[in-house]
Amino acid sequence: MRVAIVGVGQTKFGELWDKGFRDIVIEAGIEALEDANLSGDEIEALYIGNMSGGRYLGQEHISALIADYSGLTELHIPSVRVETGDASGGSALREAYLAVLSGMYDVVIAAGAEKVTDVGPELAMDIMASTADREWEGFVGATLPALYALIAKMHMERYSTREEDLAMVAVKNHKNAINNPKAQFRREISIDTVMNSPYIAEPLKVFDCAPISDGASVVILASEEMARKLTDTPVYIDSIVQASDYVALQSREDITTMKSVVYSARKAYKLSRISPNDVDVAEVHDSFTIAEIMAYEDLGFCKKGEGAKLIREGETEIGGRIPVNPSGGLKACGHAVGATGIRQAVEITLQLRGDAGKRQVDAEIGLALNIGGTGGTAVVTIFRR
């Protein structure tokens, strides 16, 4: 039994003031159904990644709400909300994958959605801080930028990573986003722009940080038998592995390594019978530029401490050895929190189908890495054309 992605849909990511939560979910869902040439009554279950609807929207029971406004209520299908911080989308994809793999369903939706900008920046940052440890980190004022800044400082001290290396990640991802019509920031920036932007938490500057965005993404999963009936270009999920780690940085042996990423990647490679060298394209969780450099290392694209070398030598550029974040990543495409993990799956699917337009890379095997908080959760997915 194999599981395939047969349809994808995504809203634009950004500050979507003219649309509500229900609007963006429906928009992405309709696009995915049309892409798969399916009608809503063929969907057997829904799995929705959503980090914090209760605080961003004042609305719980998100799962039933989405089934309601998607016109699926009369089918009485199960609809489940999945929450693992900003890895919620990746976890929702995993739950949907397992549901089909088990033989219980033939066609299911994995979706992710978040509407964040209406609450204002201060509350939005406070909500994001709740993905770290409230008692041991948040209570003393540690925000996510502050925690990632600690990680960055240690990485710089230990491995001679420079602020300019972090800036190069931002420059690359903004350049890639120009050719992504769904991206929040479709404009190039320079190293000087990043380096001259103010510090948010030293050494991380404004342009080292991904925005918090509104947006929704949807993928439709089908059993292999059903996929063959629906499309000539199925993209198979070879493996999807989720792992956990300590939520608070103080409890970790080494804050420059996310063990949740290392473990989930190794197991995913083993299940897919591949090595890191076999990956042709990757979407990784660059909520902060240091996170992308660490991802290179933790995913095995290079040795520990050599992540900065990859960005300096252009190996993660489109056209490089292992293109990373051709969509623009969280940094430039945007970070709609619960939707991000599904958005990554949309991008890898487009790449493997050859439908990525001007940002297309030559790829047969793709990888997505979705992280919750500072690495308390990691989800690694391997896709195959």
Q: Which one is predicted more confidently, 275 or 140?
A: 275
Give the chain's mean pLDDT: 95
* 3-120+213-235 CATH fold: Peroxisomal Thiolase; Chain A, domain 1 (3.40.47)
318/108 Cα distance (integer angstroms): 32
Q: For residue 169, what pLDDT is reported? A: 98
What is the predicted pLDDT for the residue at 38? 93
Question: Looking at 134-148, 194-208, 269-283, which range is the least confident one?
Answer: 134-148
pLDDT digits (tens, 9 = 90+) for 90-139: 999 999 999 999 999 999 999 999 999 888 888 888 888 888 889 899 88
Residue 203: cis peptide before it, omega within 30 degrees of 0: yes
- Mean pLDDT within 257-281: 98
8-state DSSP, 236: E
**Res 175 pLDDT > 90:** yes
What is the mean pLDDT of the segment spanning 350-359?
Answer: 97
Which position has the token pair 């929040």? 184
pLDDT for the residue 52: 87
Task: Say if pTM beats, i.e. exceeds, 0.85.
Answer: yes
Q: Which residues pair with 8 in a beta bridge?
A: 219
Predicted local distance difference test score (pLDDT) of residue 25: 94
Q: Which tens digits make up the pLDDT trace of 311-352? A: 999 999 999 999 999 999 999 999 999 999 999 999 999 999
Q: How much is the pLDDT for 287? A: 97
Is 3-120+213-235's fold the same as 121-212+238-384's? yes
pLDDT at 87: 97
Q: What confidence score (pLDDT) does residue 138 get?
A: 87
pLDDT tier at 278 (50, 70, 90 boundaries)? very high
**Residue 143 binned pLDDT confidence (cut-offs 50, 70, 90):** very high
Q: How far apart are the first and last CA of the chain?
A: 16
> Quick one: which H or E segment has residue 93?
helix 88-101
Using the predicted structure, report yes or no on whether residue 292 has a pLDDT greater than 90.
Answer: yes
- Domain limits, the chain: 3-120+213-235, 121-212+238-384
CATH topology of domain 121-212+238-384: Peroxisomal Thiolase; Chain A, domain 1 (3.40.47)
Quick one: pLDDT at residue 252?
A: 95
| Residues recorded for the chain | 385
pLDDT at 120: 81
- The reported pLDDT for the residue numbered 128 is 86
- Which long-range CB contacts under 8 A does 21-24 form with residues at least 24 apart? 21/53, 21/57, 21/59, 21/113, 21/115, 22/65, 22/66, 22/69, 24/113, 24/115, 24/214, 24/215, 24/216
pLDDT of residue 24: 95
**Sign (positive or negative) of CA dihedral 306, 307, 311, 316:** positive
Statement: residue 194 has pLDDT above 90:
yes
Lowest mean pLDDT among 64-68, 160-164, 169-173, 359-363: 64-68
What confidence score (pLDDT) does residue 57 get?
A: 85
Sheet holding 46-49, edge to edge: 79-82, 46-49, 107-114, 215-223, 3-10, 235-244, 377-384, 365-372, 281-283
Digit-coded pLDDT (tens) for 246-256: 999 999 999 99
- Per cent of the chain over pLDDT 70 is 100
Residues 20-59: tens digit of each pLDDT: 999 999 999 999 999 999 988 899 999 999 998 888 888 8
